[in-house]
Structure 1
């Protein structure tokens, strides 16, 4: 009961949960974010077997296991109380998980990896790739997906622009594209842009940056020189 209360208290904030995992023995890097700590299922029976790099994002209903439970069957069939099989789980830097992903024991996930929705990671995943499936397998390189995404994203933005213009019979504004600000707002203009929004939108967009605000401000170069320049490309 005490452990359960301690855990519930820990998941009540990002900082407390981070400290809780470190105290347990999990090796955890910087800028690690959990979309919903209440739906997280971390196997902490062997916490020292878990290693998480920097800039890792865990989405809702994520499960990580460092052991299996097959040996339960051995007790009845073979009268052998063999311990659970255990294995290390290592997650690299800049890794992002979609919803309902499960990572099994003995798995290493490389750097710069995205794991797709509902995937079961039962084998190692190399760096710089998109992986999906049950079991999860690389489907393309991150470079390929990045270039494909840029083209597709602009097609989607154009479609959205004309959807507003034709269906709602009005000229789209910056407000309609406030979540797509990175396309037309350089890092040195981010403060000015956020201040132009209402307080709720300002706060929400900062939260969605998930600790990358300062990096964006220092480094980001937008694809377009402002909203009007983007619209002109449509």
Structure 2
């Protein structure tokens, strides 16, 4: 009933799938496959110049994001004596596998390469090469995707231990493997195709390339043989 009401009130933004479909078919935006838009009724994607906007495959757009394809600041010129109208047009381009953090603004003419992460609250203008971490106002590249990955990988086990510790402090017990969610499942679930199929709830991710994900998973190994071994490790710390 709730979903039906949302569909009636927000016919094009009641879900990510509905918004992507509307952008592609109703507004003629060039948007790729397997894109994910969280809180679509809180996202603004400029439809005034659809031929000047490209959004690639596997793009993740979070709540409060604005993607802009025009600039009406020229209106100021026309109220200043002696000034003429000055038109402007630039393509706004977002590559494949890009994550756009909450409340970020992508300004007209921005070019964002593949595999980029844009930090929350960033104001993006200009050209950014692929595999970049982009943060700030004005947004700047702060490091490469590889550097960011290595840093996050080094911190992963401490993050998992913190999750367990705080859960225990709050609830007086240790979390089940399902309560750990899909965030840390690679640490302690054997990397087999059988486990992917039997424990789909632990490997349910939005906006990713399934083929690459499976290859990465099956060609790596967990740090712990079982979830119980992982919990024993956390309890010792």
> Where in structure 1 are there 5+ consecutive unaligned residues?
1-5, 195-201
On the 8 A contact 1:67/1:84 being kept in 2, the answer is no
Please give the secondary structure, in 1, of the residue aligned with 2:143: strand
Instruction: Give how far 1:146 is off.
Output: 0.5
Distance in 1 (alpha carbons) for counterparts of 2:221 and 2:230: 10
Of 114, 117, 123, 1:114 maps to 117
1:175-197 deviations in Å (ceiling 9; x for gaps) = 44234323323352033234xxx
Q: In the alignment, which residue of structure 2 is the partner of 1:93?
A: 96
Deviations 1:74-97 (A, max 9, x none): 221137662653221000111001
TM score, norm. by length of structure 1: 0.80
Tell me whether 1:209 sits opposite 2:213 in the alignment.
Answer: no
- The range that moved more, 121-130 or 209-218, is 209-218
Identify the match of residue 36 of structure 1 among 31, 39, 50.
39
TM-score (norm 2): 0.79
User: Structure 1 residues 219 and 187 mapped into 2: Cα distance closer, same or farther (>3 Å)?
Assistant: farther
CA distance in 1, matches of 2:12, 2:167: 44
95 and 79 in structure 1: CA distance in 2 versus 1, 3 angstrom threshold: same
2:19 corresponding residue in structure 1: 17
Superposition deviation, residue 219 in structure 1: 4.9
CA contact (8 A) 1:187 1:218 kept: no
* SS of residue in 2 equivalent to 1:140: strand
Greater shift after overlay, 101-110 or 154-163?
154-163
What is aligned with 1:153?
Answer: 156
Superposed CA deviations along residues 11-42 of structure 1, whole A, max 9, x for unmatched, are 23433322322232311111111011101111
Between the aligned partners of 1:127 and 1:213, the Cα distance in structure 2 is 17
| CA separation of 1:67 and 1:7: change in aligned 2, threshold 3 A | farther
Comparing both structures, which one devotes a greater share of its residues to helix? 1
Q: Which runs of 4+ in 1 moved over 6 A?
A: none
Name the Cα RMSD after superposition. Answer: 2.9
Partner of 1:27 in structure 2? 30
Query: Per-residue deviation at 1:73?
Result: 1.0
